[in-house]
Structures are given as C-alpha cells and as structure tokens.
Amino acid sequence: MEKKIRVGLIFGGKSAEHEVSLQSAKNIVDAINKDKYEVTLIGIDKDGKWHLNHASHYLINEENPKLIELNKSNRHVALIPGEDQQQIMNLSEEAKLEQLDVIFPILHGTLGEDGSIQGMMRMSNLPYVGSNVLGSAVCMDKDITKKLLQQAGIEVAKSLTVKKHQKEAVSFTKAKEQLGLPIFIKPASQGSSVGVSKVNDEEAFQKALETAFRYDHKILIEESVEGREVECAILGNEEPKASLPGEILPQGDFYSYETKYIDENGAVLEIPAKLSKEEIQNIQNTALDAFRLLECEGLARVDFFLKKDGSLVLNEVNTLPGFTKISMYPQLWGVTGLSYPDLIDELIQLAIARHDRDKALKNTVE
C-alpha cells in the first residue's frame, strides 16, 4: 500500500477571521481523501499558541458558526527549522512529530493570509498551499493591490487611503465630494468584510472610521460601484485556470461578514452566474491577468462588479478564500467540474510541485 502523504492543517489564528478559519478547517477535514492523506491538526488560539489537536475533538460547537471555538489541547507545538527538513516538536511530551510532507495553512486574515505564515513555512523548507510571501502580502493590502492593478490598466473603484495618524485630516465633506454617496469604509488589510461599513451621512462616517481603525492602521474610503457582484475562482501555479463565475445576490444592505459565514439565508449565490459567453470570458481573462500580475499561486478568488455597460471593476483578490459549506470558492469549482475532495487534492499537489521547483534553485555562487 502506498504511503500516505502527511498534511499539516494549520487553522484558527490571531485574526478577526479566526472563526471562519475553524469552519474552513472542518470542511477540509471532512472532505479530504483519507486513503491518500493523513492529517495532523494544528490549531492556533487567539493568543497565538499552537495546539496539537485530535480529529475527534478539535472544535467546540462545530455546527454553530456563531459559537464555534477551538478546543484548546494540553499538547503544544513548536517549529524547529533544520538544514534539510523541519521538525515540529510536541512540547508537552518533548517528542518530535512525524515529518510532515506539506502544510495546508487555512488561516484567513492577519498573520495567515498576509505572508507571515508563508515566510515561516519557506524558512522551514516546508511545502505549503497557497500564494508565496509576495503574492500573499500584496493581495492582503487592498491599497497596494489597487495601485498595482491600476498601473496594469485594470479598473478598480476610486478610493482615498487614510492612515491612523492622518485621521483628523479626513472629512465627510471631502469624501462625499470626491467619491459621492454612499461610500464604503474598510480596513486596508482585512478580509471577509470585517470592519466594513456602508456610509450615507457624517455621523455614520465617524463611527465607520472608528470601526475600521480597530482592525488596521490604514483604511480605505471607497466609492460605491453599481453593478452585479460576480466572483471567479483561480487555481494553479505557472498555468492557472479559471472557474465559471458566480454571482452574489445579497438579501441585506451589502455582503457582510454575517451574510458570508453565519446567516445561510443572508445571500443567494447564483452558481454559475447567468452571463453571456463574452462576459464569462472577460471575467475569466481579467481574473487570470490579476492573478499573474499580483504574483499569486495555488488559489485565489477574484471579485468584481459587472456594470451595466459591460465593464468590470475589480474589487478584491483573496489568496485564501473561505472553505465553509456556504463559501463561493469551492462551489465555483464544483460547477466547473472539480469536486471538493479533488480540489483539496489539487491544491496539495500544486504546493508540492512548487516546492520541488523552488528546491532546484541554486543558493550558492558557483
């Protein structure tokens, strides 16, 4: 019998999207091919401590997204980089874990999607799922993402960038004059609509600034774009491929955090979206262009507004999109012909292939 590939699934984390990550981890654990992969569960709590978990009891309230929690174990782990292979130590028992073959860091948001964990894996000589340090960091910062996309001629929403020390200099009047109403205020480096507010008046404007600055030192004040909300999933390394697009039909004011991950009736996902062949091709081509431009690898979900005139406004590139049961990314690949277990398998194989490619690079001068 062929030896199973040992996958380290890292989830949770010190992030506002901690609970989303727990849900994503549960979906992966439930769906992964147990005949091919052996999973080691490593949960990171909100204080940043790493826990070695068992599949039978790694979550509390796992069926309730409002109450889901990491079940903290009494087995803590530490990563010890080595010359050829890393070792993960079980600190509680002072023993080495079996060597992991690949890491699946399903950590959404801060420290998981911004290049931090990716750099740690790179330093530890471990293959990992998802974009490299550069692609992860660039896409996490919406301000930098916008600037790079604009330089490449890809349309993005007009916005103002404000850092915390500039807070007193920004006014509702200035934002209204430049961007119109309504406007959106959001942290520059958060995902899943965390800290995002829709604003129509000065009182709401001030409250929205306070909310956004709770999550980041830099925020965006962004125009509202009228158009259909469509998303496209990308998968691959050097030769990425695009899924059929899907459309979000929010039932509330906008596609909020609760709508995405907690309220199953908060939005209707039309998958695939009802689009013409030309619209589908334009969305797929633009998504692939953005994926390559921003140095992404592995996976990403690219979000657009499709305006009435047929033009596209790129809203966001998410390098570790949600894997919850109501998430768009796996559903898009489902209708494109790739099942959930096969999607997980391909992501892991892409991680191993990239690692093998990188190992061929020279690190000494000849």
Tell me the pLDDT of the chain averaged across its residues. Answer: 91
Interstrand relation of 218-223 and 183-187 (parallel, antiparallel or unpaired) = antiparallel
Q: What pLDDT is attached to residue 220?
A: 97
CA angle 271, 132, 321 (to 5 degrees): 25
pLDDT tens-digit profile of 198-219? 999 999 999 999 999 999 999 9
pLDDT classification of 144: cutoffs 50, 70, 90:
very high
pLDDT tens-digit profile of 250-284? 776 655 555 555 555 667 899 999 999 999 999 99
Which neighbouring-strand residues pair with 163? 218
pLDDT at residue 85 tops 70: no
In the chain, the amino acid numbered 149 is: L
Q: What pLDDT is attached to residue 86?
A: 59
Query: What domains can you pick out in the chain, each with its CATH number?
Result: 5-128 (3.40.50.20), 138-155+226-357 (3.30.470.20), 159-223 (3.30.1490.20)
pLDDT at residue 193 tops 90: no
Average pLDDT over residues 38-45: 96
Q: What pLDDT is attached to residue 254?
A: 55
pLDDT at residue 61 tops 90: yes
pLDDT at residue 151 tops 80: yes
Q: What pLDDT is attached to residue 260?
A: 53
Of 229, 274, 10, 206, residue with least CA distance to 120: 10
Of 67, 79, 65, 78, residue with least CA distance to 27: 65
Give the whole-angstrom CA distance, residue 55 versus residue 78: 20
Radius of gyration of the chain (CA): 21
pLDDT classification of 163: cutoffs 50, 70, 90:
very high
Average pLDDT over residues 139-143: 96
pLDDT tens-digit profile of 90-134? 777 766 777 899 999 999 988 999 999 999 999 888 999 999 999
Task: Please state the pTM of the whole predicted model.
Answer: 0.93
Q: What pLDDT is attached to residue 1?
A: 64
Interstrand relation of 37-44 and 5-12 (parallel, antiparallel or unpaired) = parallel
Of 176, 129, 114, residue with least CA distance to 329: 129
Intra-chain end-to-end CA distance of the chain, in Å: 42
Of 140, 146, 92, residue with least CA distance to 116: 140
Average pLDDT over residues 169-180: 95
pLDDT tens-digit profile of 220-256? 999 999 999 999 999 999 999 999 999 999 776 655 5
In Å, how far from its chain's centre is CA 18? 12
Average pLDDT over residues 137-160: 97
